[in-house]
């Protein structure tokens, strides 16, 4: 659905390549941000200021290509401007109606190499950031070219603190963040978030990543960041045929971490829904055979400890039906898990089950209970094997009523073998193409994809709404066997780094926080109330109740919040936060009047005062509060919690007492 708030206006200031202009500027609709692009001394650069103060110093623009020198630019011409102010509706999401309000400036750069002789650069300027991309419309149709490098620079003004981890690690994106001076960045993944000594927050990422390598950011040691494309086996960055456009390079700009988290630039820079009616996908919660295997209670491989057996799956189906969950994930159901499956991914079958798993019988057992199986396709990075079976697999799952498939690519990055024997990185152009092929094939069968070990999200869920969630960070499974497990501050960093890219399937909700371990760094490093708060703070339209059924049955009062909390939202607001310290998020149920709040702190106890001004005026709510107990502490007493109820309105202020590693989860139920 599409709503027009105001007419889209287009003003072409010059036709054709006329006399070169040295400099062009454009402002955001509210005049908060100004961007200027210019050509001088053979370099094309752009600079950004906010409220009259420089934010990004002049940084270079352009791509370079194999077989030709780095281009020198001689002219900037043909400026074209556009203003857009529209509303559009997500079929599901963290916010139902999204406003797209921006000014656009496109200029043509004239370079001295054949492939850079005419390059369009389009800038979209929002009040909370910018996007830019390149258009190579002058390259002849069908002409093959190899991109050698993306030369785009980001040059933050002033000293910056950064939250980042080293890119091109063998474990993909599954690393803890470190906080350092931005000048210490060597090669970082995006989203990369900075806090300036001027109090301005920046986050660098990309949008609409299609048929192009993922962008990294290389540090210079002086604070300048330069785009670095994930390489192909032959050393090139991307293979393209003319004409083509690149993904958007994005910069979020705000006065607070909350301003970054609540920006919708990432979605607005993607194309509208291509799938049409996707009402066949229903956001919701699921349980499954997953955590028990990470705890080594059962196995993915066949044998007497095999977790994905028919009787065990029926137990999870019954638990899901009893508690109102619509899905049951089953990992380890298919042949190929025996032995060293990571090294032998080509042995996976995505249509043949182990003998003790009866898929048709289980689907039939689940259907009248309102439960559907969630498929699982672990590829071990054997992409060619998966693609050869992809159509048959999706057709089979559709026939069984499977509506969501979780994919996986557990293999060291840089060791994914393509059809020619080349070794690929997990988010190079080859894998970007593959993930989109999976999503498009699944869509034909009305199946949604939840990708683990994925290419990072870049807002493509707007264009392909069956691309519902991804992992792409150090998730809950590290709390089962990680050494160390995730520290408390991890949950207060994710909303302003990884989560700026899009939904994450973190798999929250662990109640047995020690799970038999005695060392703190081998346990889940949070309180139980934090596990509830994760359902609000870490957004995904598909949320797992990840613990074992018996652990929920032992604490039905706390489990009630997981049963109640939605996964689809009318609106979302980050209320207060400091990256790495604490975060408070509120979300309103889509199509409803209830609100939910999640608050999480790091290893320090924290007292926060939270105004409830986000609630509707003139309405009374019952606040159902799930909080840390008086003696709660993630180190010594993680399972202490208290539940209380009180009547509140939007004029009230709540005092949130967060224990070390603690949290609070609240449902605000409208009183009628």
How far from chain centre, in Å, is Cα 670? 31
Q: 129: which residues sit within 8 A by CB, 6+ positions away?
A: 33, 250, 251, 252, 253, 254, 263, 265
Cis-peptide into 243, omega within 30 deg: yes
Decide: helix, strand or coil at residue 107. Answer: strand
Q: Judge residue 562's burial from the number of C-beta atoms within 10 Å of its C-beta, 0-12 exposed, 13-18 middle, 19 or more buried.
A: buried
CA distances from 545 to 31, 32, 197, 565, 627 (A): 45, 42, 40, 11, 19
Nearest to 500 by CA among 667, 254, 283: 254
Query: By the 8 A CB rule, do 289 and 312 touch?
Result: yes
Which residue out of 266, 477, 534, 589 is catalytically annotated?
A: 477
How far from chain centre, in Å, is Cα 641? 30
Does 21 participate in catalysis according to the annotation? Answer: no
Q: Where are the alpha helices (DSSP H) in 543-618?
A: 549-553, 556-564
Query: By the 8 A CB rule, do 255 and 129 touch?
Result: no
Query: By the 8 A CB rule, do 621 and 664 touch?
Result: no
Decide: helix, strand or coil at residue 197. Answer: coil
Nearest to 334 by CA among 302, 311, 312, 362: 302
CA distance 161 to 152: 21
Q: 461: which residues sit within 8 A by CB, 6+ positions away?
A: 93, 267, 467, 468, 502, 503
Query: By the 8 A CB rule, do 466 and 448 touch?
Result: yes
CA distance 188 to 199: 22
Query: By the 8 A CB rule, do 94 and 585 touch?
Result: no
The torsion of the CA quartet 268, 274, 279, 281, rounded to 10 degrees, works out to -80
Query: By the 8 A CB rule, do 73 and 60 touch?
Result: no
Positive/negative CA dihedral, 488, 203, 539, 402: negative
> Which residues share a beta bridge with 164?
178
Q: 127: which residues sit within 8 A by CB, 6+ positions away?
A: 28, 29, 30, 32, 33, 101
- If one counts every other C-beta atom within 10 angstroms of the C-beta of residue 133, the result is 21
Q: Kindly write down the DSSP assignment for every residue of 430-445, as one continuous string.
A: HHHHHHHHHHHHHHHT
Nearest to 153 by CA among 46, 226, 214, 47: 226
Query: By the 8 A CB rule, do 165 and 192 touch?
Result: no
The residues annotated with a catalytic role in the active site are 477
């Amino acid at each position: 659905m599409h709503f027009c708030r105001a007419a889209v206006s287009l003003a072409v200031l010059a036709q054709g390549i006329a006399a070169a202009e040295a400099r062009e500027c454009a402002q955001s609709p509210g005049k908060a941000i100004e961007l200027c692009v210019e050509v001088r001394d053979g370099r094309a650069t752009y600079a950004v200021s906010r409220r009259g103060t420089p934010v990004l110093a002049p940084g270079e623009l352009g791509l370079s290509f194999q077989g030709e020198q780095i281009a020198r630019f001689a002219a900037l011409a043909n400026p074209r401007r556009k203003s857009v102010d529209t509303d559009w509706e997500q079929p599901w999401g963290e916010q139902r109606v999204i406003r797209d309000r921006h000014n656009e400036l496109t200029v043509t750069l004239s370079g001295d190499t054949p492939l850079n002789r005419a390059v369009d650069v389009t800038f979209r300027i929002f009040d909370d950031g910018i996007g830019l991309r390149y258009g190579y419309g002058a390259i002849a149709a069908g002409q093959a070219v190899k991109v050698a490098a993306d030369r785009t620079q980001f040059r933050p003004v002033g000293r910056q603190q950064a939250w980042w981890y080293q890119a091109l690690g063998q474990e993909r994106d599954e690393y803890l963040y470190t906080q350092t001076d931005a000048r210490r960045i060597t090669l970082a993944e995006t989203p990369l978030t900075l806090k300036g000594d001027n109090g301005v927050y920046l986050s660098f990422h990309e949008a609409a990543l299609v048929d192009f390598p993922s962008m990294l950011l290389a540090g210079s040691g002086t604070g300048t960041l330069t785009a670095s494309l994930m390489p192909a086996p032959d050393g090139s960055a991307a293979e393209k045929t003319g004409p083509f456009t690149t993904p958007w390079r994005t910069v979020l700009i705000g006065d607070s971490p909350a301003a970054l988290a609540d920006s919708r630039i990432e979605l607005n820079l993607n194309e509208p829904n291509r799938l049409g009616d996707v009402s066949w996908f229903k956001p919701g919660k699921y349980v499954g055979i997953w955590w028990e295997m990470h705890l080594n209670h059962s196995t993915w491989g066949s044998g007497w400890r095999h977790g994905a057996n028919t009787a065990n799956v029926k137990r999870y189906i019954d638990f899901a039906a009893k508690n109102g969950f619509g899905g049951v994930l089953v990992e380890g159901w298919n042949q190929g898990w025996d032995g060293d499956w990571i090294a032998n991914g080509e042995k996976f079958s995505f249509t043949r089950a182990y003998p003790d798993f009866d898929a048709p019988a289980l689907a039939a057992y689940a259907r009248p209970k309102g439960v559907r199986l969630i498929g699982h396709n672990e590829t071990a990075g054997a992409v060619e094997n998966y693609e050869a079976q992809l159509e048959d697999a999706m057709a089979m799952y559709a026939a069984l009523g499977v509506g969501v498939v979780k994919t996986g690519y557990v293999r060291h990055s840089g060791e994914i073998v393509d059809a020619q024997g080349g070794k690929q990185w997990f988010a190079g152009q080859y894998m970007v193409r593959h993930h989109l092929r999976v999503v498009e094939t699944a869509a034909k069968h009305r199946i949604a994809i939840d990708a683990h070990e994925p290419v990072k999200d870049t807002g493509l869920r707007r264009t392909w709404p069956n691309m519902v969630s991804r992992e792409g960070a150090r998730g809950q499974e590290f709390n089962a066997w990680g050494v160390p497990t995730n520290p408390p501050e991890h949950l207060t960093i994710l909303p302003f780094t990884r989560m700026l890219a899009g939904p994450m399937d973190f798999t929250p909700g662990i109640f047995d926080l020690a799970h038999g371990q005695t060392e703190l760094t081998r346990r889940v490093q949070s309180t139980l109330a934090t596990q509830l708060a994760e359902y609000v703070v870490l957004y995904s339209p598909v949320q797992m109740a990840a613990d074992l059924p018996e652990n929920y049955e032992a604490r039905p009062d706390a489990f009630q919040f997981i049963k109640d909390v939605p996964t689809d939202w009318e609106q979302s607001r980050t209320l207060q936060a400091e990256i790495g310290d604490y975060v408070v998020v509120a979300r309103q149920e889509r199509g409803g009047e209830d609100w939910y709040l999640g608050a999480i702190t790091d290893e320090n106890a924290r007292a926060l005062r939270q105004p409830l001004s986000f609630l509707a005026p003139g309405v009374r709510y019952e606040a159902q509060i799930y909080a840390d107990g008086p003696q709660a502490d993630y180190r010594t007493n993680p399972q202490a919690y208290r539940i209380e109820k009180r009547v509140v309105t939007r004029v009230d202020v709540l005092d949130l007492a967060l224990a070390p590693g603690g949290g609070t989860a609240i449902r605000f139920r409208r009183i009628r």
